[in-house]
Structure 1
Amino acid sequence: MLADVVPLYPLYALLFADTGLSDAEISALFAIWSVVGIVVEVPTGALADRFSRKSALVAGGVLQAAGYALWTATPGFTAFAAGFVLWGLGGSLVSGSVEALLYDGLVATGAQEHFTRIYGQVGAFELIAQIPAAVAATVLFPLGGYELVGWASVATCLTAAFVASRVPEPPRTESGEEDGEASYLAALRTGVVEAVRSPAVRGAVVAVALLTSLDGIEEYFPLLARDWHVPVDAIPLAVVAIPLAGAAGSALAGRLDRLRPLSLALVLLAGVLVFALAGLLGVPLGLVLVGLFYAAYRAVLVVANARLQERIDGTARATVTSVAGLGTDLAGLLLYAAWAVAGLPAALGLALVVVAVLPFGLRGRSAAGART
């Protein structure tokens, strides 16, 4: 997807480091990003449910562009933190809106049983988009450094926002009896109540939240590559194999759709063990093993998200999904703190905790009848 063809993606952790920030300060920036999500994740999901999910996608792209503009114009810890606030707000608007827009669109055509396959393909395209992003970063960086890469990223986000404005949105039934504020509060309450009180939904929300938080490890891939002796100017292309592997995992997730939760947990466990081996080796070829982990992880993540969507019965789909996003932000704080203290070993320890929790979160049977 165009929103993911951002040249800054493979370089921004290096931008922070080259500006003089320590690993602890970089982790603090990621923590700020998560805190913003904690504050606004669920309210923005309710906004999307009450008004327009398409408009939420557009606003998210504009805010992300504004954040990158700050980073590029005035690089430094304060500007980086402010940029993450804007990006966090924009990301919260997008979080839940994509899944809700896709699932409701499939429901409108009677094709909701294809959600896992299609959502997996969407995730694959998002990851494949990192290839042109890496190529762009590799080409632009020698020509104009972080500044050229940054402004190109701003332009990409604004273009993505325009494209999102052209996406069709299925009509939704509205009572017309409540004013905007009352309707918004009703959507907020409906989504939160379903996420908390329904055992099947609650378990899936927890599973998706914990699983998605592991994606924060991706922010450290460029730093791992540098620690494993990959030259800085080769890092964007060196790490591109990882999202490619993740794209393959997402695209093949439909084949895991009927697996029981324990089997899904074993798939994730295998990936975590392979990642641990890469960390022990500490060589450039270890990135191939990281790619295998990411493929397994993304496949399991797609299936977990699909089972969450299948279990949501109400109209506040984006709000419920945003509750999972809130959990992701909370768990992400723990991940960033763990990395700041003990690096990769601590992050992999948290991944093992997720493996242990996954079978319990996804147990039961979804509304669509998927075997869990």
Structure 2
Amino acid sequence: MGWTALSELVPLYPLYALLFLDTGLSAAEISLLFAAWSVTALLTEVPAGALADRWSRRGALVAGGVLEAAAFVVWTVAPQYTGFLAGFVIWGVAGALVSGTVEALVYDGLAEVGAEGAFARVNGAMTSAELLVQIPTAAAASVLYALGGYPLVGWASAAVCLAWAALALRFPEPPRERDGTTLVATLRCGVAEVVRVPALRLTVLAVALVGAMDAVEEYFPVLAGDRGVPTVAVPAAVLGIMLAGALGAALGDRADRLSDRALPVPLLLSGVLLGAAAAVPGPPALALVAASYALYLAVLVVAEARLQERIDSARRATVTSVAGLGTELAALLVFAAWALGGVAAVAALVLAVVPVVAAGLRRPPVS
């Protein structure tokens, strides 16, 4: 959990959009930067997972931290469009190296000591830490910017990335069998497992759909503004939603104990509450969104745990990365839903995925 918190304690996170604007980039140029970031992540997600399986999951995490630090160094020494573009490409590769690898390393580490059943609790705590650390991150960003502007923020961010990379060096990595003799063979085996095994394929789909719903987080500030929250108070309003989400993630372990029939209920209620928020005027709508987000994250924690239970250790990072790729693609549905109908359309999308999630997260019968 300490590593998770440190990996998110990057002062540039809340400021990089402002950095682009203050550098003089247009809205179109900023959109192209985000597009390059997304495309890089999509193209490298699954190969990076295969690399972690074939080479070293701990090594992949360390490389991810070093590359992210390099991205922020490029931004700091070359604060212009080409520098930002290069940094985003590097950061996209770094994110792919971490995505899927963390879950694989944690699950196998727990399995090594016979505690794999604790994964939901540990994963929920890690998700909570990611959300809670936004508070000190925002404070650090403000202080560093006041002291030294964007250059100090950039150098500090690179230092934080190197710090969490160094911390990852201390992670134990249980020995495991490796399928295939090449990276391509590992990649092929992992993807083929998802395609061939119906139960795993359905679980990967369920995790991708549940994970994609988290994209609604991007619209929380917009929703707060639309509900009449003054601009100066929007960060505090969004923080309230994030704190509720942290609580929900922490309760993921309890949600994991629900029966197969009961497990979809929190996600169903999340969609209902989100839909109700579309019809409620003023700040009370944000309370409904906060409750919806808490229920949603509890289910997401369970979904990620159920996926790990179904994966062979030798291909764990690869298969998890396939689910991550599916999440990125399915998130486009959330963006499209918001564009077409706002929060009500996103709520309808959440409700629509409930049957698939219920089927994909069902525990296998005890033989």
| 1:115 alignment partner in structure 2 | 119
TM-superposed CA distance for 1:303, in Å, is 0.4
The answer to whether the Cα contact below 8 Å between 1:124 and 1:246 also exists between their aligned partners in 2 is yes
Local SS of the residue matching 1:169 = coil
Distance in 1, matches of 2:147 and 2:225, equals: 21
| 1:7-57 alpha-carbon deviations (Å, 9 max, x no partner) | 3333445555665654x8766654443322221111111100011101111
Distance in 2, matches of 1:97 and 1:269, equals: 30
Relative distance call for 1:77 and 1:119 in structure 2 (3 A) is: same
| 1:252 alignment partner in structure 2 | 251
Letter in 2 for 1:300: V
Decide which moves more: 55-64 or 215-224.
215-224
TM-superposed CA distance for 1:115, in Å, is 1.5
> Among residues 159, 162, 167, which one is paired with 2:163 in the alignment?
159
| 2:293 alignment partner in structure 1 | 294
Decide which moves more: 245-254 or 49-58.
245-254
TM-superposed CA distance for 1:69, in Å, is 3.9
Distance in 1, matches of 2:66 and 2:281, equals: 39
TM-superposed CA distance for 1:163, in Å, is 1.3
The answer to whether the Cα contact below 8 Å between 2:108 and 2:313 also exists between their aligned partners in 1 is no
Relative distance call for 1:174 and 1:332 in structure 2 (3 A) is: closer
| 1:219 alignment partner in structure 2 | 218
Relative distance call for 1:140 and 1:292 in structure 2 (3 A) is: farther
Q: Alpha carbon RMSD of aligned pairs, Å?
A: 3.1
Local SS of the residue matching 1:240 = helix
TM-superposed CA distance for 1:311, in Å, is 1.1
> Among residues 88, 93, 98, which one is paired with 2:97 in the alignment?
93
Indicate yes or no: 2:314 matched with 1:322. no
Decide which moves more: 61-70 or 319-328.
61-70
TM-superposed CA distance for 1:296, in Å, is 1.1
The answer to whether the Cα contact below 8 Å between 2:271 and 2:348 also exists between their aligned partners in 1 is no
The answer to whether the Cα contact below 8 Å between 1:195 and 1:201 also exists between their aligned partners in 2 is yes
| 1:280-303 alpha-carbon deviations (Å, 9 max, x no partner) | 456456444332222111110010
The answer to whether the Cα contact below 8 Å between 1:339 and 1:346 also exists between their aligned partners in 2 is yes
Local SS of the residue matching 2:318 = helix
Decide which moves more: 291-300 or 73-82.
73-82
Distance in 1, matches of 2:9 and 2:17, equals: 17
Decide which moves more: 141-150 or 196-205.
141-150
TM-superposed CA distance for 1:186, in Å, is 2.6
> Among residues 30, 33, 37, which one is paired with 2:37 in the alignment?
33
Distance in 2, matches of 1:289 and 1:146, equals: 36
Local SS of the residue matching 2:263 = helix
| Uncovered stretches (5+) of structure 1, i.e. residues with no partner | none
Distance in 1, matches of 2:359 and 2:313, equals: 23
TM-superposed CA distance for 1:237, in Å, is 4.2
> Which aligned pairs between 1:204-353 and structure 2 lie closer than 5 A?
204-228=203-227, 230=229, 235-281=234-280, 283-284=282-283, 286-339=285-338, 343-353=342-352
The answer to whether the Cα contact below 8 Å between 2:11 and 2:140 also exists between their aligned partners in 1 is yes
| 1:120-175 alpha-carbon deviations (Å, 9 max, x no partner) | 12222222222211222344445555554444323222221121122221222458
Distance in 2, matches of 1:110 and 1:33, equals: 38
> Among residues 133, 139, 153, which one is paired with 1:135 in the alignment?
139
| 1:153-209 alpha-carbon deviations (Å, 9 max, x no partner) | 23222221121122221222458xx7xxx3322321221121111111111100111
Letter in 2 for 1:50: R
Local SS of the residue matching 2:173 = coil
Aligned pair count? 362
TM-superposed CA distance for 1:211, in Å, is 1.1
Indicate yes or no: 2:104 matched with 1:104. no
Relative distance call for 1:300 and 1:26 in structure 2 (3 A) is: farther
Letter in 2 for 1:134: A
Distance in 1, matches of 2:282 and 2:11, equals: 25
Letter in 2 for 1:68: F
Local SS of the residue matching 2:109 = helix
Relative distance call for 1:269 and 1:26 in structure 2 (3 A) is: farther
Indicate yes or no: 2:130 matched with 1:126. yes
Relative distance call for 1:85 and 1:341 in structure 2 (3 A) is: farther
Distance in 2, matches of 1:90 and 1:289, equals: 35
Indicate yes or no: 2:13 matched with 1:4. no
Letter in 1 for 2:242: P
| 1:88-128 alpha-carbon deviations (Å, 9 max, x no partner) | 21111111111111111111111112221222122222222
Letter in 1 for 2:217: E
